[in-house]
Structure formats: C-alpha cells, structure tokens
C-alpha cells in the first residue's frame, strides 16, 4: 500500500516551523508532494530531508520566494522529469513527474488567477497548454497519478457558497468545464471514488475566520488514471492540521 500526501505548503519553511517535520516523522508516508515551496534553487538539496529518510526532488521557480514544487520520496524513482517543456511555465517551477515500478507520480502546481484578470488569463492558457501534455503522459505511462493544487473548484459540492455571483477565479464556468473534461476523458478524482457525495474542503482563506466557520473550497486533488481507480483504497483531508491555508491530502493506493 502506497500512502501519498499532497499539500500546498504556502512556504515550506513556514510549514516546517508549524510542526510539519514532526508529523512526517510520526507517519512515514511513502511520497509527499508539496506545492508552493517558495524556495529557490539555492535550497534545492536532494538531501534536504535525509534525516527523515527521504530523497528530495525539486522544481524551483526562477523568482525567489515564489511557487515551486517538491517530491519527498523514500523510494528513488526510476526516472524523473521536470517541467512541461514550455519555458513560460517552467520558469515558475510547476511540475515534477517521477516514474516508479508500476506507476508514475506527477506533482503539479496550477497557476492561481486570484491576483487579477491578467493572471486568470495566464491560468486559462496554462490549462489549455498542459492538457495535451498530460494526455501524452497518460498515453505513455498509463498508471499515472497527478496530485497538486489545481486552484479550481470542480462541483457546487466543493465550495461552501455555491450560489455566489461575483465570479471569482477558481470558480468560473470555463475552468470548471476544463476540470469536467479532465475528469471525464483522462482521470478520476480519488476523493470522489471514496466519498462520492461528501462535502469537504482543502483550502480556507485566512480572512474573516473562514477556517473556524468551515467556509472553504476544495481546490487540491489527487487524480488517477482510470485504470488505477480500483486501486484507490482511502482518502483523507487532514483538516485538523494547519501547516498552511491548505490541509494535507492523504490517499492510499494498492500499488
């Protein structure tokens, strides 16, 4: 059984200060995928978490204190690739793909469009451009898992106030339609395999006591190739843990 964690750390060093390493040491997960490490290449040491028994694979943004993804893994992958092959996205450190015996794991940090219309347009272009990348990866690797912060609410069940009319990035029809296509043509949603009708969230704004009122969004996912759907055995949103404004996602796969 593989236990895979996914977490937008919103600054890895900040999350570490909140007890992240103790939690990892207690649980001994197989792979841990972080988004938004906010650590540049000067910190990208493969032995960064060696004391915990993990090899670290980094894809950092060129800009300091911004974006970045990391896979911590107990098992050294057979092969690793970094980036989408498109410099406009790869300079922001958004994708790692690691191949293991019998499956592949992709850790992806999708752009946020919340800063304004320009970044929302950038996000929509990213979605358009990476869809064929993942379609090709799925054809090549077949048993593919794609974890990360997608920055998109999929269904009305995945947001605390689905009736809202202010059209925020993350809950717009065009991006939700993209995710519909993703979960129809390419992948299944690991959480929904285990909990088809449950209302749970993965992100809560730091504003207005949103976490304590459970006013959240589900924007973080572990997607599985449809052939792997029967292998999903459990899925947990660790809402009780506050390493960042996102909670860790834990999935168990019979791999």
The residues annotated with a catalytic role in the active site are: 149
* Spatial contact of 55 and 73, defined as CB atoms under 8 Å apart: yes
Report the C-alpha gap between 116 and 51 in whole angstroms: 41
φ/ψ of 130, rounded to 5, equals -85, -15
Residue 183 zone, left/alpha/beta (φ > 0; ψ -120 to 50; rest): alpha
Report the C-alpha gap between 99 and 177 in whole angstroms: 29
Neighbours of 44 (CB within 10 A): 17
Report the C-alpha gap between 231 and 112 in whole angstroms: 30
List, in order, residues 6 or more apart from 234 with CB less than 8 Å away.
194, 250, 251, 252
* Spatial contact of 112 and 151, defined as CB atoms under 8 Å apart: yes
């Amino acid at each position: 059984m593989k236990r895979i964690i996914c977490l937008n750390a919103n600054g890895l060093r900040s999350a570490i200060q909140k007890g992240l390493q103790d939690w990892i040491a207690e649980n001994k997960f197989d792979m841990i995928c972080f988004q938004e490490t906010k650590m540049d290449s000067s910190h990208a040491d493969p032995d960064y978490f060696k004391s915990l028994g993990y090899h670290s694979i980094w894809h950092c943004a060129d800009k300091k204190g911004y974006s970045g993804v990391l896979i911590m893994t107990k098992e050294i992958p057979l092969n690793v690739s970094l980036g989408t092959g498109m410099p406009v996205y790869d300079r922001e450190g958004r994708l790692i793909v690691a191949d293991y015996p019998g499956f592949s794991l992709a850790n992806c940090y999708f752009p946020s469009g919340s800063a304004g219309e320009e970044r929302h347009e950038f996000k929509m272009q990213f979605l358009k451009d990476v869809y064929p990348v993942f379609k090709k990866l799925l054809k090549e690797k077949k048993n593919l898992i794609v974890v990360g912060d997608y920055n998109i609410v999929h269904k009305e069940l995945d947001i605390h106030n689905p009736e809202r009319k202010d059209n925020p990035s993350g809950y717009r029809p065009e991006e939700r339609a993209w995710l519909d296509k993703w979960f129809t043509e390419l992948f299944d949603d690991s959480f929904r395999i285990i909990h088809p009708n449950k209302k749970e969230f993965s992100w809560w704004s730091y504003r207005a006591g949103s976490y304590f009122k459970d006013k959240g969004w589900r924007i973080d996912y572990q997607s599985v190739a449809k052939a792997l759907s029967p292998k999903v055995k459990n899925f947990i949103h660790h809402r009780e843990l506050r390493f960042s404004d996102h909670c860790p996602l834990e999935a168990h796969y019979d791999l």
